Structure 1
Amino acid sequence: MKQLRLLLFPFSIVYGIVIWIRNRLFDLQIIKSKNYTIPTIVVGNLAVGGTGKSPMTEFIIQVLKDKYRVATLSRGYGRKTKGFKYVNIASTADEVGDEPLQFKNKFPNITVSVCEDRCIGVETLMNSHDVIVLDDAFQHRRLKPTFSILLFEYSSCLHPMFVLPMGNFRDLPAESKRANMLVVTKTPSDASDSEKELIKNKLIHKSAVTNVYFTSIVYGDLISINELEAKITPNTTVLLLTGIANPKPLIKYLKPLINDMEHLAFSDHHAFTRNDILTIRQRFEQIKNRSKIIITTEKDAQRIRTPEFLNILNDIPVAYIPIEIAFEDKSISKSVQQQLLSICERSVNES
Structure 2
Amino acid sequence: MTRLLTLLLLPPSWLYAGVVAVRNWLYDTGIWTSTAAGVPLLNVGNLRVGGTGKTPHVAWLAQQLLDSGQQPAILSRGYGRQTTGFRRATAADTAATIGDEPWQHFRGFGGRVPVVVDEDRRHGLAELAAQAPAVTAVVLDDAYQHRRVRPDLNILLTELARPFWLDYVLPAGRLRESRRGARRADVVIVTKCPADLPARGQERATARARRYTRPGVPVLFSGYEYGAPEPVFTAAGPPPAPHQPVVLLTGIAQPEPLLAELRRRGHAVVAHHRFADHHAFTAAELAQVRAAVPAGAVIITTEKDAARLREPALHTSAASLPLFYVPIRVAFLADGAARLQALLTPLLTPRAVA
Asked if these proteins are the same fold (TM beyond 0.5), I'd say: yes
Matches of 1:54 and 1:180, distance apart in 2: 19
Q: 1:260 to 1:54 in 2, by over 3 A?
A: closer
The structure carrying a bigger helix percent of its residues is 1
The 8 Å contact of residues 248 and 269 in structure 2, kept in 1 or not, is answered as no
Is residue 2:211 matched to residue 1:198? no
Amino acid at match of 1:319: F
Is residue 2:253 matched to residue 1:248? no
**TM-score, structure 1 length as denominator?**
0.93
What SS does the corresponding residue of 2:211 show, helix, strand or coil?
A: helix
Amino acid at match of 2:129: M
- Map residues 24-103 of structure 1 onto 2, 5 A cutoff: 24-66=25-67, 67-103=69-105
**TM-score, structure 2 length as denominator?**
0.92
Is residue 2:154 matched to residue 1:148? yes
Q: 1:312 to 1:71 in 2, by over 3 A?
A: same
Matched residue, 2:190: 184
Matches of 2:200 and 2:97, distance apart in 1: 46
Number of equivalent positions? 342
Matches of 1:111 and 1:121, distance apart in 2: 12
Amino acid at match of 1:305: R
Is residue 2:325 matched to residue 1:320? yes
Amino acid at match of 1:339: L
Is residue 2:343 matched to residue 1:343? no
TM-superposed deviation, 1:233 = 3.2
TM-superposed deviation, 1:229 = 2.9
TM-superposed deviation, 1:235 = 4.2
Matches of 1:50 and 1:162, distance apart in 2: 16
Matches of 1:185 and 1:122, distance apart in 2: 28
Q: 1:111 to 1:159 in 2, by over 3 A?
A: closer
TM-superposed deviation, 1:234 = 4.5
Matched residue, 1:261: 270
The 8 Å contact of residues 226 and 310 in structure 1, kept in 2 or not, is answered as no
Among residues 121, 141, 147, which one is paired with 1:118 in the alignment?
121
Matched residue, 1:109: 112
TM-superposed deviation, 1:341 = 3.3
62-71 or 17-26: bigger deviation: 62-71
Q: 1:115 to 1:230 in 2, by over 3 A?
A: farther
The 8 Å contact of residues 64 and 341 in structure 1, kept in 2 or not, is answered as no
Among residues 301, 305, 310, which one is paired with 2:310 in the alignment?
305
What SS does the corresponding residue of 1:206 show, helix, strand or coil?
A: coil
TM-superposed deviation, 1:261 = 2.5
TM-superposed deviation, 1:190 = 4.9
Matches of 2:240 and 2:282, distance apart in 1: 27
The 8 Å contact of residues 188 and 217 in structure 2, kept in 1 or not, is answered as no
Amino acid at match of 1:272: F
The 8 Å contact of residues 75 and 138 in structure 2, kept in 1 or not, is answered as yes
The 8 Å contact of residues 251 and 278 in structure 2, kept in 1 or not, is answered as yes
What SS does the corresponding residue of 2:62 show, helix, strand or coil?
A: helix
What SS does the corresponding residue of 1:214 show, helix, strand or coil?
A: strand
Unaligned runs of 5+ in 2: none
